[in-house]
Amino acid sequence: MNFDYTEEQTLLENMVTSFVRDDYDWDTRCSIVKTEEGWKEENWKKFAELGLLGVPFDEDQGGLGGEATDIMIVMEQFGKGLVVEPYMPSIILAGGLISKLGSADQKNSIIPEIISGDRRYVFAYAEPQSRFDLFDVKCSATLDGDNYIINGFKSVVFGAGMATHLIISARTDGDQRSKSGITLFLVDIKSDGITLQNYPTIDEYRASEVVIENLTVSKENILGELGNSYEAIEEQVDLSTIAICSEAVGILQVLKDSTNDYCKNRKQFGQSISANQAIQHRLVDMMIEYEQAKSILYMAITADLSNSDERRKAASAAKARIGKAIKFVGENAIQLHGGMGVVDEYMISHFFKRATMIGILFGNVDFHMKRYTDLTQSNIQSINEDDGINLS
């Protein structure tokens, strides 16, 4: 049993750490989020050069064949720098769907382009009524000769404004909330029938509302089987959930360490505010929440993610528990920074905002608590009335 990184993983960590330190210092990051595009394409090229865009892909496609731990390493360091380039939406989520479902031809033509940085796919799944239910899909695709005609509306699609292509989930069969009948389509983002409304998010990332009107897509551009994509969507969203949990753990570390330093340096009544026990105990509780968050992330990373029930449980356990840690550590980081906590100018509020939005992404605490509960509290055999129980 060990929680050590392999030599390759240590190298990967060092590489991402030095990217964040050298190319993504706080001032640089602030200037990037103020630009019209909201990201820096040069950084994407740098990721390609460093091999980061290939981390999760198979080696025979030119990737690194990385696993959950490798993705965690990248995401945790990106979290510490609040890196806004759409790595998770494009590489982990959309890239994961293509790896999982793509035909040999699709993979051979698309994945090398993703790894080289020439194409970026993002996955348009959420709809105004769907909330966190991945199977709630109104967007429809109807057959017309050799093509499908897609109509619908996709909400809050992260990174769409930076993407070259979309993966769209649309209903080819079944009711709005049926798990069967969902089909994925690969489309060029410049296709007629797609209109993007781009906007910044509260945490300075970028997202888009995507209006789809009579979009024509050839049958060949179906990703995976017709009407049978739900399982794969759920799987890739689970893996992406673990990836953003890793990002959150990186952010929580910054929130906790910065608050610790701030309280040591901030003087009131002639002494550091960290000399007060009320402050000390709060800082200890933040540290405990951080450690517990990191521990449940390690649980998820080392779980048997190839087993679908284990994967579902791991992702929901991690997201629910880390969601609670985000609220506690984040809100207390702001509180202990006092006035400095609430201003835009100082970095702490930015980390808090990003962590809070991660708390919502792919389902909030309540959503994942319910999912975890449903997975772990069915079919329990009840106790015999004659059994005594020993709790001490």
Partner 1 sequence: MDTAFSSEDLKFQSDVREFISHNYPKELKDSIGTKRKTGKELSRDDLMSWHKILGKHNGWSAPGWPKQYGGAEFSPTQKYIFEQECARAECQYIMPFGVNMVGPVIYTFGNDEQKAKHLPGILSGDVFWCQGYSEPGSGSDLASLKTSAVKEGDHYVVNGQKTWTTLAQHADWIFCLVRTNPDAEKPQQGISFLLIDMKTPGITVRPIKLMDGSHEVNETWFDNVKVPVENLIGQENMGWTYAKFLLAHERSGIAGVARSKKALERIKQIASAEMSYGEPLIQDPAFKSKIANAELELSSLEYTELRTLAKDSAGKGPGPESSLLKIKGTDIQQMVTELAMEAVGYYANPHLGTTLSNEYVGPDYATNLSGSYFNFRKASIYGGSNEIQRNIIAKMVLGL
Q: Which residue ranges make up the site for partner 1 (CB under 8 A)? A: 1-5, 69, 260, 263-264, 274-275, 277, 280-281, 283-285, 287-288, 291-293, 295-296, 298-299, 301-302, 317, 320-321, 369-370, 372-373, 376-377, 380-392
Write the DSSP symbol of residue 271.
E
Mind giving me the DSSP string for 206-218?
EEEEEEEEEEEEE
Alpha carbon of 175 to those of 102, 130, 359: distances in Å?
Answer: 25, 13, 29
Shorter beta-carbon distance to partner 1: residue 344 or 386: 386
Q: Least distance from C-beta 178 to partner 1, angstroms?
A: 24
Would you tell me how many other CB atoms lie within 10 Å of the CB of residue 228?
17
Q: What is the token pair recorded at 295?
A: 């521990």
Across 4-17, b (16+ Cβ under 10 Å) vs e yields eeeeebeebbebbe
Shorter beta-carbon distance to partner 1: residue 312 or 353: 312
CB atoms inside a 10 Å sphere around CB 264: 14
Which residue's CB is nearer to partner 1, number 345 or number 387?
387
Query: Which residue is listed with tokens 């129980």?
Result: 389
111 burial via Cβ count (<10 Å: 0-12, 13-18, 19+): buried
Q: Which is nearer to partner 1, 345 or 385 (CB)?
A: 385
- What is the closest distance, in whole angstroms, from the C-beta atom of residue 29 to partner 1 in the complex? 27
Distance in Å, CB of 297 to partner 1, minimum: 8
Q: Please, which residue, 197 or 302, has the CB nearer to partner 1?
A: 302
Decide whether 104 or 391 has the Cβ nearer to partner 1. 391
> Which of 367, 254, 246 is closest to 298 using CA atoms?
246
Give the CA distances from residue 168 to residues 151, 160, 229, 268, 358, in Å, rounded to whole numbers and listed in that order. 11, 11, 11, 55, 22
Nearest distance from C-beta of residue 113 to partner 1, angstroms: 31
Compare residues 35 and 277 and give the one whose CB is closer to partner 1. 277
Q: Min. distance of Cβ 288 from partner 1 in angstroms?
A: 6
Least CB distance to partner 1 at residue 147 (A): 46
CA separation (Å) from 166 to 136, 319, 390? 19, 26, 56
- CA nearest to 329, candidates 364, 291, 297: 291
To partner 1, the closest distance from the beta carbon of 376 in angstroms equals 7
CA neighbours closer than 13 Å in the CB half-sphere of residue 8: 10
Nearer to partner 1, 3 or 199 (CB): 3
Shortest CB 231 distance to partner 1, Å: 24
Q: What is the dihedral of CA 324, 328, 331, 333, to 10 degrees?
A: -130
